[in-house]
Amino acid sequence: MSEPIYSDPHFRKLRTEKVPVGRLGTEEDIAQAVLFLGSEKASYITGHELVVDGGIINSIIANLPRPSSVDSVGLDGE
């Protein structure tokens, strides 16, 4: 589905640079998450969304504009 988009080397490089882990995801990344969720190691996990995105969502949220009042209550990570 995304193969035509990522076949352009320039676009692929731009996208890769935005991923916090420094690379695009692979089928193997998804497979490992599925295997983990189906394993005994995940037996106590219920009703949770496992995001396999290399940190994209967290990096976007961390860079969203926010009111200065949020910083004043110590929610800026410091």
pLDDT (tens digit, 9 = 90+) per residue, 58-76? Answer: 888 887 777 776 666 555 5
pTM (predicted TM-score): 0.70
Mean model confidence pLDDT for the chain: 86
- Altogether, the residues listed in the chain come to a count of 78
Q: DSSP labels for 6-74?
A: HTSHHHHHHHHHHSTTSS---HHHHHHHHHHHTSGGGTT--S-----STTHHHHHHHTS---HHHHHTT
If one counts every other C-beta atom within 10 angstroms of the C-beta of residue 14, the result is 10
- Identify whether the C-beta of residue 53 lies closer than 8 Å to the C-beta of residue 20: no
pLDDT band at 3 (very low <50, low <70, confident <90, very high): confident
Coil/strand/helix, residue 49: coil
